[in-house]
Structure 1
Amino acid sequence: MKNASGGPERDELEGTEQPFVSHLIELRDRLIRACIAVGVCFAALSFWPGPAGLYDLLAAPLVANMPHGGTLIATSVISPFLVPLKITLMAAFLLALPVVLYQAWAFVAPGLYLHEKKLVLPLVVSSTVLFFLGIAFCYFFVFKQVFRFIQGFAPTSVSAMPDIEAYLSFVLTMFIAFGAAFEVPVVVVVLARLGMVSIEKLRAFRSYFIVLAFIIAAVLTPPDVVSQLALAVPMVLLYEVGIWAAQIFIRHTQPPDEEPPAA
């Protein structure tokens, strides 16, 4: 392949090759930096607000909607110690996630072409932001509505006292469900950019996706209308955002056109 001046075109990655051992050393160093970032965040969160404070913050939406001043209980001897510790570790990883993703990006970026960097970096950043938005939407809006809806059906003769481990499992399931659901635009962009599906087919699939979104919401969320609508409606809206974003990505991340071979 020749460049504009008639000479052979130089590959962007020419001269960037490294021995396999060098790649392993770099991978080790970046994994260590990511682990250090998680450890620093864990130490900071252990100091303030502390594991107990983090669990109180996580349980606040449920406790606020429990009648008669109800509280959570621990049915295992070591649950009051292990459960807050797990939450602190989870929060530390989420807090250090930008550093972890940067280390992953810095490791793979030298082996990518310019048009691939234009595709990968925005997808990494947007997927991270969307995942955090899904968790925030679940915590600040969905939990409040769901717990209020559920407690409204509880008989007055019943005192709700959920177990802290069961509540942690429920919270993690909901966080993962909403975080993954908010990744719909990224999935749509990747499928369209790789040529696996066209923009026209994505638009034609819109009505089927609405049905699919409600099915997914019915499977992943508790059996109540509030949580199912809270998951399905954002998925449908984000699907439309993904179609719009896919058109922009396809336009700006195309590889450079190759010249046809000379006769």
Structure 2
Amino acid sequence: MFEDLKPHIQDLRKRLMISVATLLVAFLVCFSFWTHIFEWIKAPLQAAFTSKQVSGMLIQISPAEGVFAAMKVSFFAALLVSMPIIFWQLWLFIAPGLYKNEKKVVLPFVFFGTLMFLCGAAFAYFVVFPFTIKYILMFGNEEFQANISVSSYITFFTRVVIGFGVAFELPVLAYFLAKIGLITDATLKGYFKYAIVIIFILAAILTPPDVVSQVFMALPLICLYLLSILIAKIVNPAPKKEDEEEQKDQ
């Protein structure tokens, strides 16, 4: 049995090595101009501070914090840049187990996988994060000043942005699974009520511990799940009988 798995393990190692090497090269490049990237990352916080409703500043609370902050910023940017290669390597690992006609979705998988990740990150950066950071900082600001550790801010920022990027992959995953016949629209409809619970749990994990941020993440995820049902219906619709049985179960 181990001998059968050995080629797959070797291929997985190869794909991981290429992905890690790409990430490392991108990291080194991004590290050379991390200050420019950081200006972009801290822009929502600066906007909150200049709104006259919040008082505070970014601070360094340990000797090496600046170095670690630069590394976090560079790694975050490197991950965004490396996404096409990472998706490509993921596909090359999965592809040998697929039929010839199923392998034709390689380019859509890589393109839309990258696009949806970037759309999720952009949605978080331009819509969710500015409101969330301002809302959080305004709470109790009459009592204390929001002097925020630069490292904790970057961690908070990347968790929200990457969380939304991953969440926006749901329609791509639905398309891929429907294309190879693993799911139908009836399958997704049947799991809708469970998906709602899981979505709110994920929103609680990936966002700060406040209800507003969780709702801001949960609502787009629910919309993406509904979009995934529509995609599955177009790509691999359930037979009428199966769909009717699913509706009866609900």
TM-score, structure 1 normalization? 0.70
Counterpart in the other structure of 1:64: 47
RMSD (Å) for aligned C-alpha atoms: 3.5
Aligned residue in 2 for 1:101: 87
Structure 1 residue runs of 5 or longer lacking an equivalent are 1-21, 252-263
Mapped pair 1:136 → 2:142? no
* Structure 1, 144-153 or 22-31: larger mean CA deviation: 22-31
Question: C-alpha distance in 2, partners of 1:228/1:242?
Answer: 21
Corresponding residue for residue 247 of structure 2:
none
1:59 to 1:196, Cα distance in 2 relative to 1, 3 A: same
What is the CA–CA distance in structure 2 between the aligned matches of 1:209 and 1:220, rounded to whole Å? 16
Q: CA deviation at 1:174?
A: 1.5
Distance, in Å, in 2 between the alignment partners of 1:101 and 1:188 is 16
Equivalent in 104, 108, 120 of residue 118 of structure 1:
104
Residues 34 and 199 of structure 1: is their aligned pair in 2 closer, same or farther, counting only changes over 3 Å? closer
- Listed as ranges, the gaps of 5+ residues in structure 2 are 1-6, 238-250
Q: What one-letter code is carried by the residue in structure 1 that aligns with 2:37?
A: L
Instruction: Name the SS of the counterpart of 1:162 in structure 2.
Output: strand
1:81-230 superposed matches below 5 A: 81-102=67-88, 105=91, 113-192=99-178, 197-230=183-216
Q: Is this contact kept in 2: 1:119–1:249, CA < 8 A?
A: no
Of Structure 1 and Structure 2, the greater helix share is in 2
Closer, same or farther: CA 189–71 of 1 in aligned 2, 3 Å: same
SS of equivalent residue, structure 1 residue 96 = helix
Q: What is the CA deviation profile of residues 133-159 of structure 1, one whole-angstrom value per residue up to 9, with x for unaligned ones?
A: 211111111111111212222232411
In the alignment, structure 1 residue 54 sits paired with structure 2 residue 23: no
After the TM superposition, list the runs of 4 or more consecutive aligned residues in structure 1 that deviate by more than 6 angstroms.
22-33
Letter in 2 for 1:132: L
Q: How many residues align?
A: 230
- Residues 207 and 40 of structure 1, relative CA distance in 2, 3 Å threshold: closer
In the TM superposition, residue 24 of structure 1 has moved relative to its aligned partner by 11
| TM-score where L is the length of structure 2 | 0.73
Partner of 1:233: 219
Larger Rg over CA atoms: 1
